[in-house]
């Protein structure tokens, strides 16, 4: 379980926009290449993405972290390699902030016990997922209107160093609390869609 105190929710401002041969910045170990333009780092995963190394299309040996705009190579490149990304990205606008959040990562475990299991239960890990809850101060009906919509979630571990988790998410449930001696608060239950990535 991971807990923090600062988070933000963004939504796509219209349909995704094409980008071509967008420049990237490499990590110190030359395995992670992040799109240089901070406004183009939320990639539309429903559109084909082309990654090039030194102008030549690369089709394997990497994964794409769509939320955050990062290409992660399984084998380090060298400092002279130039990586570019083509595809579509979302222009985003912030629509909410939180003062508290909690994320749970999980994996489904299927029972595969047989007569040969010696009386002990055996399990097989299958798919992974994540879900969570965010809490903020109520200001209007924004959260209710966003239920069932795919959003962009950014959760900070340390805002000063930009350490954060980023991912695509659905709002599953919205709860509003009105105590007699405090301000109105609301919480949102989250259901992750695709991985939640750690970036810094």
Q: pLDDT at position 86, please?
A: 98
CA quadruple 199, 3, 98, 157: dihedral positive or negative?
negative
- Give 196's DSSP letter: P
Q: pLDDT at position 34, please?
A: 97
Domain with CATH 2.40.30 in the chain: 2-8+94-199
What phi and psi, each to the nearest 5 degrees, are found at residue 86?
A: -125, 145
Alpha helix segments (H runs only) across 99-195 = 142-145
Q: What is the pTM of this model?
A: 0.80
CA angle 31, 35, 40 (to 5 degrees): 150
Q: pLDDT at position 13, please?
A: 77
Domain 2-8+94-199 CATH class label:
mainly beta
CB-side neighbour CA atoms (13 Å) of 114: 3
Is the per-residue pLDDT at 157 higher than 90? no
CA quadruple 108, 70, 96, 134: dihedral positive or negative?
positive
Mean pLDDT of the chain: 88
Confidence label for 74 from pLDDT (cuts 50, 70 and 90): very high
Is the per-residue pLDDT at 1 higher than 60? no
Q: Do 175 and 158 touch, CB atoms closer than 8 A?
A: no
């Amino acid at each position: 379980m991971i807990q923090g105190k600062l988070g933000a929710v963004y939504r796509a401002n219209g349909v995704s926009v094409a980008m071509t041969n967008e420049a990237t910045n490499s990590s110190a170990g030359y395995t992670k290449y992040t799109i240089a333009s901070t406004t183009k780092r939320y990639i539309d995963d429903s559109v084909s993405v082309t990654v090039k190394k030194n102008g030549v299309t690369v089709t394997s040996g990497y994964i794409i972290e769509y939320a955050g705009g990062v290409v992660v190579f399984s084998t380090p490149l060298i400092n002279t390699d130039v990586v570019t990304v083509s595809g579509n990205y979302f222009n985003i606008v912030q629509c909410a902030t939180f003062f508290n959040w909690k994320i749970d990562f999980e994996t489904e475990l299927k029972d595969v016990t047989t007569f040969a299991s010696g009386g002990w239960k055996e399990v097989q890990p299958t798919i992974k997922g994540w879900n969570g809850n965010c809490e903020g101060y109520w200001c209007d009906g924004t959260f209710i209107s966003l239920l069932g919509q795919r959003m962009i979630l950014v959760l900070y571990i340390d805002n000063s160093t930009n350490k954060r988790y980023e991912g695509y998410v659905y709002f599953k449930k919205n709860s509003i609390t009105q105590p007699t001696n405090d301000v109105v608060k609301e919480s949102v239950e989250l259901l992750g869609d695709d991985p939640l990535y750690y970036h810094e």
